[in-house]
Each structure stands twice: as structure tokens, then as C-alpha cells.
Structure 1
Amino acid sequence: MKNKYIDLIDQTYYFPQEEFTLNENSLSFHGIDLMKLIEEYGAPLKFTYLPQISNNIKKAKHWFGNAIEKHNYKGNYNYCYCTKSSHFEHILTEALKNDIHIETSSAFDINIVNQLKSEGKITNDNYVICNGFKRDRYIMNIADLINSGHKKCIPIIDNYEELDLLTDVIDGDFEVGIRIASEEEPKFEFYTSRLGIGYKNIVPFYEREIKDNDKVSLKMLHFFINTGIRDTAYYWNELVKCLKVYIQLKKICPTLDSLNIGGGFPIKNSLAFNYDYQYMIDEIIYQIKTACDDAGVPVPNIFTEFGSFTVGESGGAVYEVLYQKQQNDREKWNMINSSFITTLPDTWAISKRFIMLPINRWNDEYERVLLGGLTCDSDDYYNSEQHVAAIYLPKFSKTKPLYIGFFNTGAYQETIGGFGGLQHCLIPTPKHILINRDENGELTTKVFAEQQKAEDMLDILGYK
């Protein structure tokens, strides 16, 4: 009878997979022996496997390169990293090894840019695409960066008054982009994105405010939809509308030479994940080229702003199952030694799915369970993994510890949860490990942050 956990996985998915393999009875992730990591650092813990950041950047560049060559596309491709996905120094340092550019969202992002410039990790040759709603501090920081000689800093106009605010504080000529306020998917509570300027208003805005402005030139049109880049009628319809605006603008604006199609590549959230990245990129490049050729205008240079795709698949979280509570005849609660609300807030806030797998005891019998966190909050549970309707794990045993891992958690969790600050019910932030490979390909690890201590929280709360 096939009733072991490994049997369940073998019957349900193709396994092993590129990043997941078994080392006897326990799980390895990108060649990382996770049980060895637990033995050295304990659990709960978070980890970041830095090489995966470079791996994904290289993949995207390769896919775009293939599409540009296939369609004889005359524009170039620029990969930008969306910093709001993770602002950590080790993330930016790894990403910037790959000849990329960055996209910012707020005033303090520019402080990070200045720090990276002082270290030589960003130069004036890197584009800094400044998105977001811009108030005084953000405007001033952008102006300071451009005034210092960083001409490839491109503020993306999000609302009408930003152009005048920037013009007042930037000394010389500068380039801007305009963000399109795309129409949202029908299931949304609102019809049009709050970000950017409406389709029908962009050309009049250009003619009124930019066309005869000797100080400002329009370089970029920015397009992004909340659902991301997916093979749906909604996405292709919005892209076609964007291209119509680009073509209208290009015919009257010779300086316009770039189209930013934003971000939104999905990342692997299940062992059954299937997304044809090359097909989507081929089709996007083909659609842009066809529309421009038909209209008799040059094709634009392409910019993307991948955040989750850049950093998401580098992250993981590891927990120990502390205890099992049988609440009724059907529900068994496996209690982890941390909290989902505090350490994986996306699972609680937007029902985000991550790959969840046991780390050890794959040759043991399995059972159906629910996963609960330590806080006294009824929403602190997880039931959104790859089996959808249920979670199956090796049977709980008081004498055999069970460890579980959540994978591809590298985007947004620390920024949403508030890294280094107070967490719900004062559950401490786990230890965080950085994993890399040396010049010989050997794994190296170091502690980025220890688990929070009571003293840290008391200090924040004003008790010290």
C-alpha cells in the first residue's frame, strides 16, 4: 500500500524538480541540505539563496534576447529591478551584478541609490525609473539625483502637478515618462487604476505641458496592470490600448523612444506550476512590432520592472511542528513554532500561495492536517498550498520532530511585516540566513539577523 508522503508526491507531481530533490529522507532546495541548515541554525528561520536572483535575471534577459532576434526587433531591452519587492542591501548587491537598472517607489529609495552609487554598485549609466505618487521629499530627492549628473534618472509622471514641481527644482534639461492609468479587471471594485493618467488624457497632456517645454522631453510611456503579465484577453486588450497611445504620441513626439511594460511575471507557487515565459515574451514583442510596423513608427526600446520575479524564488521559511491539536473528529491542527501573520503576511493578507513541503520524514505515512500559528488570532493559519483543499504532511509524532518549509517567499514578506519592528502578539522575527556560493561553487552561509529578543521589543515600546 502506497501511503508514504513520498508516494503522495510521486502520484501527484513530477518529482524531483529543478530546485527540489531528496537527499535520502529529507528535502534539498537548490542543492542546500535543509536539515543540515536546521541542525546548524535551528528553527524557525528564514533564508535567502542569493544565486537564484542572478539566475532569474539571466533567464529573463535570455528570453527577451531570443524574442528580439526571432522577430528582428530593432529596439533594445532593459531589465529593471522593482526595489519595493525587497530593499535589502544583499538583494540589491546581487541583482546589480547583472547589468540591470532599478525602479523606485518613494523618497527613501533615492537615499539607497545614493548609497549604492557611493559604493560603485550603481553609476550614471544605470537607469533609475522613479514611479509612485511624488510628494515634496521624493521630488527633492529626484531633483538632487538629476542635478548631480544622473541624467538617466527618469521620473514617471503619475499626476499632472508633478511636472511643474520637478521643473521648479531641477536645474537643467531632463527626461520624463508618463504612466498610463490602465483599466482594471472587471472583478475589481473600481474601474480605473488610481496610478497614472487616463488613456484619453495623455496626448492632450503632452501637447499642453511638454511639447513646447524646452526644459522637458518625453522619453517613456509606462504601462502596468495589477494582474501582471498573463495570457488573458484582458491583458492583451490593455496592451493594444497602450500601443495605440504610444503610436499616437510617437507621431508627434520624436523624443519618445521607450515603452515600459512594467512587471508582473508570476513565480512558482506550486509543484504543478506551469507558465510559458518564452511564449509570453515572444507574443509581447510580436504585438509591439506589428502595431508599430502597421502604423509606420519605429519600435520602442523595452523596459520591464520585475520585482517578485527577481527576488521571490530566492527566499524560504522553515518551521518546526510543535504540537498537534485534535479539535474534533475531522480537524487536526499542526501548530508551528512561529506565526503566519508575522512571518508570511501575504498568506494572511491576500491568501498568497507558496510551495509548502515537509523537510524531513518523507518516507513516513502521511495525514491530512491544518496548519496554525502561535498568535491568539483566528486568522493565523495556512490552508492555501498546492493541494488547495487540504494539506498533507507526514504523521505527527511526539518523538520524531517534523520540519516544514515554505519556498519562493523572497518578495514583500519583510517589507509588509515590518522587518526589525513589532509583530502581531509580539511573536519574534526569526533568524535570517544568507546562502551563497563561493568561486568554487561551494555553499556558504552567514547570519544576516538573529532572532528578535525581548529587549529589542521593549526598547521599541518605550520600556527601556
Structure 2
Amino acid sequence: MDKYTDLIHQTFDFPTEEFKVENNELLFNGIPLMDIIKQYGTPLKLTYLPKISSQIQKAKTLFRESMEKLDYKGTYTYCYCTKASHFSFVIEEALKNDIHIETSSGYDMQIIRSLYKKGKIDKNTYIVCNGFKRERYRHWISELVNEGFVNCMPILDHLGEIDYYKQHINVKTKLGIRLASDEEPKFEFYTSRLGVRYNDVIDLYEQQIKPDDRFELKMLHYFINTGIKDTSYYWSELSRFVRKYCELKKLCPELDTIDIGGGFPIKTSIQADYDYRYMTEEILRTIKRICEDEGVPEPNIFTEFGIFTVGESGATIYSILDEKLQNDKELWYMIDGSFITNLPDAWALNQRWPLLAVNHWNKEYRKVQLGGMTCDSQDYYNSEMHSYQVFLPKIPKGEPLYIGFFHTGAYQEQLSGYGGIKHCLIPSPQHILIDRDENGALKHWQFAPEQTSESMMRILGYEV
């Protein structure tokens, strides 16, 4: 009999740093998942807070060591992209690691105010204000700058944005400009809708920024939607961007920083082959080489890591409600949740995550399709990153089977509309937070229960 444990050990170099099995039950970062399931039930989302800090420290160490190795003269600053997960427990955990913040909407600025009131940030914290900004966003940025948040930095996204700041900001202000990068060749559009055209950057500085003593251009920013990847497209866009920085630096002495938008990837399979150290060193080498060619000092570097910061801290746990054999060949395991509503990237982007059984590792395995609870035919999951199939243990009679999707901590709640109305009125699952005390012992608590029918009725306008 081929057991599920045999399949995993034959397919991967298992156990890994974060996954291991004891008594045929899965542990995730040392968390005995069956204990969590027994206490809280399923479906559930969990966030393991220490993973957020360890990811930040990993990136900061990589850049520090690589800068020392290459004698890179600029500094490194880590920013967290709030859009990856706006939850207070995520941002407050991240801020324990001496980091800064990147925002993308007006309501982010209210989060900034809340963090300041709680003493989690101060007026020296960098707030890199990105995105195409409606008046509300520009108004709240201007308020913070006028109140003395000296590193609240609007990143100009189009030529007319600075007009508002000229009218409403009355103190010395740091500015950035976002460049409109070309999209990946297979993308539907050639150039990003966000940012200023390369050909317009010099004029924007010379005509709108330089003549006004209030404004100091400090940062040039770009964003690669596909993230930091070892592709000719990525290196071409980075080189093009750095050369534009050098051209502008010769005209604007106070410009000294670049922001490399688009972050490191996370593991989407149990084992990933991404070489973080190689990519970090090659980014620094590329920047250093071009700056030497152009005769300008290497810039300080900001990175904006959202998915990398929070993605691997998350997991989504389901139980298998039942099995159905369709067409005499398709075996369906029906989960007590929905992919469309709980993990929308699985549906919208065909995103894949590490998928493992939580229990019954000693049972025989079989090929299955996973079906969600909505009535939509697209609510399914039937392939893993390392194969075009899904294998899980057979369900013992009278015993539940639990499965986990891992590294689901980024974007899924934001995209699915946390606490709102979802397809077929599938409720938001409960959310469990897990941390460790000063002695390393696990502690966990419920951040939010499963969404109730009463909350849905109120949203929909029904009497409760």
C-alpha cells in the first residue's frame, strides 16, 4: 500500500524548515495543527506572527551582507506594503523590526494616524505614499506633512498631482516620482497605467519641482508587477530605470534614493528553488555597475515587500465534508469552505500554494479534485505547483480528514471582502492568531469568529 507519507517523502526533500510530521499529523512552524483544529474547528484562517518578523530579518540580513560584500555605499530601508494585509496585528508585528511603510490609498492614512497614536510609529517614520490619488488621499497626505511627519513622501504618479501639494502644503517636503515601467511582454498592455512616462520626468522636475523651494526630489520609484525574478525582462527594466536615475541625479543633486517596487516571491510549493542571495547581489551589482559607468554615487535603496512579509505567515484549514464520484472517474473531495470566496487568487489568477493533509499521513493516497461550497463550477482546486494533480489520503470511515493551504497570508482577505458579502453567502471563516511568549511557548487566540448570518442580513438591508 502506497501511503500519503511515502508520496510526500518521495516527491520532496521532507521534512522542511517549516513542515514536519509527528504521529501522522502535520506541524506548521512547530504548530500542532490538530490541536488548533480540535479547539477551534474548521474552516479557519491562521496567522503565525513570528514568521512576519523572520521574513523581514531575512531580507535585511541579505541586503546588509550583500552590500558589505560588494562595498555598496548606499543604505537599505525595508518598507511594508500595507495593501498585502491591512490587519493591525500584521502591521504591528512588522513594525517591531525597525521598518517603514508604503501606502496605496487614502484610508491607509487613517491607519498611519492610528499607529502614531499608539506609539507604533513616529514622525520620522518613512511613509511612501504610492498610487493614483484622488483628492481625499492627497488631502490626508498634505495634513500629515504639514503636521511634521517629515518623511511622509508623496510619490508623484502623474504630471498634475503636484498642483494640489503646491496649494495645500506649506512646509519643506520630500517628493518621489514613480516611473511608468513597461509591462511583461505577455501582458495585455505595453506600459503600466501607473507612473510618469520616462520622457516626462526631466521636465516635471525642471518645471514643477526645482523652482519651488518647498519641494525636494529625493526618490525615484518603479514597480515591476511580476516581482523580482531572474528574467531578461526584469534586468532590462531595472537597468533602464537606473540609467534614468543617473540622468536625473546629474540635474538634481538632492536625489539620492531609488525604490525597487515589486518584491521577493514566496514559496508556492513545499520546496522552492528561488535563490534570494543571488538575486540580491545581482540587483546591487547592476545598480553599482551602471552608476560607475555614469559617474554618479550609488543610491540608497528602498524595497517594498508585501507578499514576502506576510504571505508565508498564513494558512487556511478545511475539513473534507464528503466525497463524490462523478462520471466514474472524477473523485471529488468537498471542503467546508470555498476557493472563490476564501482564496480568490486560486480562482482569479490560478494561484497555487503548498497543500498538505493535516492528518492521516499513514493512509493510502488517491488522486482527487477539491470542490468548494458555492454553486459555481469554477469553485475548485485540482493541481499543485509541482504537478498537474492533487493527491490526498483516503478518508477513513467515520474519521474526518483535514487539509491545509499554506502561505496564504497576503491579499486573500482584502480581495474576498473580509466580513462582507460573498458568493452564495459563504461566511468569512474564523481567524486565529498564533504567537510565542518570551520562553518560546506557543500561545493562540481567536481574532474573529466565523461571520454570522445576522451580520450578513444587516449588510443586505434585511431586518434582523
Common fold: TM-score over 0.5: yes
User: Percent identity, aligned pairs only?
Assistant: 57
CA contact (8 A) 1:318 1:403 kept: yes
Residues of 2 paired with 1:130 and 1:81: CA distance?
12
Match of 1:32 in 2: 31
Match of 1:431 in 2: 430
- Residue 388 (structure 1) shift: 2.9
Correspondence 1:380 to 2:385: no
Counterpart mapping for 1:342-421 below 5 A = 342-421=341-420
Counterpart mapping for 1:6-405 below 5 A = 6-405=5-404
Residues of 1 paired with 2:199 and 2:117: CA distance?
42
Residues of 1 paired with 2:137 and 2:222: CA distance?
21
Residues of 1 paired with 2:308 and 2:192: CA distance?
22
Amino acid at match of 2:201: I
Quote the RMSD (CA, aligned, Å): 0.9
Larger mean Cα displacement after TM superposition, 263-272 or 437-446 = 263-272
- Residue 431 (structure 1) shift: 1.0
Which string of whole-angstrom CA distances, capped at 9 and with x for unpartnered residues, describes residues 1-60 of structure 1?
5x0001111111100000000011100000000001100110111100000000000000
Secondary structure at the aligned position of 1:197 is classed as: coil
- Residue 272 (structure 1) shift: 3.1
CA contact (8 A) 2:226 2:262 kept: no
Amino acid at match of 2:162: L
- Residue 205 (structure 1) shift: 1.8
CA contact (8 A) 1:203 1:245 kept: no
Amino acid at match of 1:68: M
Which string of whole-angstrom CA distances, capped at 9 and with x for unpartnered residues, describes residues 278-319 of structure 1?
110001011111111121111110000000000000000100
Which string of whole-angstrom CA distances, capped at 9 and with x for unpartnered residues, describes residues 327-379 of structure 1?
01220010001111111111111111111100000010000000000110001
Residues of 2 paired with 1:134 and 1:430: CA distance?
33
Amino acid at match of 2:54: N
CA contact (8 A) 1:75 1:302 kept: yes
Residues of 1 paired with 2:52 and 2:148: CA distance?
29
CA contact (8 A) 1:335 1:373 kept: yes
- Residue 398 (structure 1) shift: 3.6
CA contact (8 A) 1:351 1:384 kept: no
Larger mean Cα displacement after TM superposition, 323-332 or 200-209 = 200-209
- Residue 387 (structure 1) shift: 4.1
- Residue 125 (structure 1) shift: 1.9
- Residue 397 (structure 1) shift: 3.3
Q: Would you say how many aligned residue pairs link Structure 1 and Structure 2?
A: 463
**TM-score, reference length from structure 1:** 0.99
- Residue 276 (structure 1) shift: 0.5
Amino acid at match of 2:456: M
Residues of 2 paired with 1:417 and 1:140: CA distance?
28
CA contact (8 A) 2:225 2:262 kept: no
Residues of 2 paired with 1:60 and 1:211: CA distance?
35
- Residue 211 (structure 1) shift: 2.0
- Residue 441 (structure 1) shift: 0.5
Larger mean Cα displacement after TM superposition, 117-126 or 377-386 = 377-386
Secondary structure at the aligned position of 1:361 is classed as: coil
Amino acid at match of 1:24: N
Larger mean Cα displacement after TM superposition, 100-109 or 266-275 = 266-275
Secondary structure at the aligned position of 1:386 is classed as: coil
Secondary structure at the aligned position of 1:285 is classed as: helix
Larger mean Cα displacement after TM superposition, 270-279 or 394-403 = 394-403
Residues of 1 paired with 2:271 and 2:96: CA distance?
31
Residues of 2 paired with 1:323 and 1:149: CA distance?
59
Residues of 2 paired with 1:225 and 1:149: CA distance?
31
CA contact (8 A) 1:373 1:381 kept: yes
Secondary structure at the aligned position of 1:440 is classed as: coil
**TM-score, reference length from structure 2:** 0.99
Residues of 2 paired with 1:67 and 1:387: CA distance?
31
- Residue 273 (structure 1) shift: 1.2
